[in-house]
Amino acid sequence: MSELKRLSESRDLTRIERIGAHSHIRGLGLDSSLEARDASEGMVGQLPARRAAGLILQLIRQGKIAGRAVLLAGQPGTGKTALAMGIAKSLGAETPFASVAASELFSLDLSKTEALTQAFRRAIGVRIKEEAEIIEGEVVEISIDRPLSAASGSSGAPSGAAAAGKTGRLTLKTTDMETVYELGGKMIEALGKEKVQSGDVIALDKASGKVTKLGRSIGRSRDYDAVGAHTKFVKCPEGELQKRKEVVHCVTLHEIDVINSRTQGFLALFTGDTGEIRAEVREQIDTKVAEWREEGKAEIVPGVLFIDEVHMLDIECFSFLNRALENDMAPILVIATNRGITTIRGTNYRSPHGIPSDFLDRLLIITTQPYTEDEIRKILDIRCEEEDVDMSADAKVLLTKIGTETSLRYAIHLITSAALACQKRKGKVVEMEDISRVYQLFLDVKRSTQYLMEYQSQYMFSEVQGEADGDDAMQS
């Protein structure tokens, strides 16, 4: 267990230290009246789109209307995915947010409709309420009765296998009462893992036996001159030792589906090997959740399903989405595309964004516009700060010019490359020479295309049919 814990901690550290394409996004950058600030929470520009996204955010938070769909449409590199990430960050952890790329649905393991169904149910949360018996108090004394074969030790709680076969007594108190509890081996081990000692305020879950250390009693704060920086002092609990508390668990419908569909369902959540889930299982779960809602034990939390590159879906997937959005428990659907008028996949018909007209009619469409030069400069400033790169003002001006003439993504890619070039010459601040060096080393799309057209006769399987044909092929 200790190895697993260390592994999970190392993974957490790795996840925190790694910098992603949208790791600088903290929210939508709106004020209290849902007006977009010029630059806030990692978002820059796109003011009309962000204001519209703010209204969608309010719609999601209210959770009263199901099955609404939003289309984020714009040219490549205009911040569509950033808008979706801003919505996700603003919602917080309480609201489910599932994200998939349209190409993920075309798998050999799952049918397209099954993959879409699982994605929909990952975006629907269930907040389950239950009452738990909690014993909460300040530890007065822990007394352990050791077998004759065991060596005598201190009055603290032992940990690990040392607790096996032992019994003991735990004295807890509140401001009103004091009680002695008999302890078994498992409870002694749990107390030892939490390193509970006299003067700690703890909470015991009677059903699961879980021990939670709430802090150190204020009444014992003068017992020791030296305390750790993270030592938390709390008041001694009042009233009865044994209390009933409402505990809330938040899970998604997909997690309930997986756990109930397979014998090793809980482990399947970690491995990702969920497989096809039978419709009968989902119907039983929906019936049970409906019963819990009527009894007040649970409530539905409609979340958000984000499908990127939605033009990759075919006509069958769009027909499924049309039907799925009419369900009472459907989440808010947010889709994004960078295509203009193009062919609907699976047909010979052309349509705006490659989406059938009947499905387009269901959508609230938010458009994004290309960034201005000033906005590109602000985004590059944010990315330099996010990637911990010190860059001179002249270098930022040059990088902004490159981003304006080529693309924002290409300019962002050059930041870390230029920082490495700066380290190579043992510099501390990225200068113009570093930007120029990586600009020469790494081609953008325009220069790469120009190079290809000049030397395409030397590439394999190239057929040069004429300059006009080549231009038509590039446009298509």
Q: pLDDT digits over 95-150, tens only?
A: 888 888 888 888 767 888 888 888 888 888 888 877 778 888 888 888 877 665 54
- Is the pTM higher than 0.75? no
| Residue among 78, 116, 39, 27 nearest 316 (CA) | 116
pLDDT value at residue 436: 92
| Residue among 25, 60, 66 nearest 44 (CA) | 25
C-alpha dist (Å) from residue 265 to 14, 122, 273, 278, 472? 28, 15, 9, 14, 53
C-alpha dist (Å) from residue 381 to 40, 171, 358, 376, 434? 13, 58, 42, 9, 17
Q: Record the tokens describing residue 388, joined without a space.
A: 């911990």
pLDDT value at residue 352: 92
Q: Record the tokens describing residue 279, joined without a space.
A: 């419709």
Task: Give residue limits of the domains in the chain.
Answer: 25-123+261-367, 373-458
Fold of 25-123+261-367: Rossmann fold (3.40.50)
pLDDT value at residue 337: 92
pLDDT value at residue 442: 92
Fold of 373-458: Helicase, Ruva Protein; domain 3 (1.10.8)
Q: pLDDT digits over 386-432, tens only?
A: 888 899 999 999 999 999 998 888 999 999 899 999 988 888 898 99
Secondary structure letter of residue 314 according to DSSP: B
Give 346-399 as a 3 state SS string.
CCCCEEECCCCHHHHCCEEEEECCCCCHHHHHHHHHHHHHHCCCCECHHHHHHH
**Region of residue 3 (left: phi > 0; alpha: psi -120 to 50; beta: else):** alpha
| Residue among 69, 476, 78, 65 nearest 310 (CA) | 69
Residue owning tokens 């120009």:
450
Neighbours of 461 (CB within 10 A): 4
Q: Would you say the CATH fold of 373-458 matches that of 25-123+261-367?
A: no
**Residue 54: in which H helix or E strand, if any?**
helix 47-62
pLDDT value at residue 12: 44
The string of DSSP codes covering 143-177 is: EEE--TTSPP--SSPP-GGGGTT-EEEEEEE-SS-
pLDDT tens series, the chain, 476 aa: 444 344 444 444 444 456 777 778 888 888 888 888 888 888 888 889 888 888 888 887 876 666 788 899 988 888 888 888 888 888 877 788 888 888 888 876 788 888 888 888 888 888 887 777 888 888 888 887 766 554 444 445 554 444 445 778 888 888 888 888 887 777 788 788 878 888 888 888 777 777 888 888 777 666 554 555 567 777 888 888 787 777 777 888 888 888 877 655 445 444 455 677 888 888 888 888 888 888 888 888 888 889 988 999 989 999 999 888 888 778 888 999 999 899 998 889 999 998 999 899 888 899 999 999 999 999 998 888 888 889 999 999 999 999 999 888 899 999 989 999 998 888 889 899 999 999 999 999 999 988 888 888 888 776 655 444 545 544 54
**238 CB-near residues (< 8 Å, 6+ apart):** 174, 175, 176
Secondary structure letter of residue 27 according to DSSP: S
Q: Are 305 and 88 in contact (CB under 8 A)?
A: no
pLDDT value at residue 401: 92
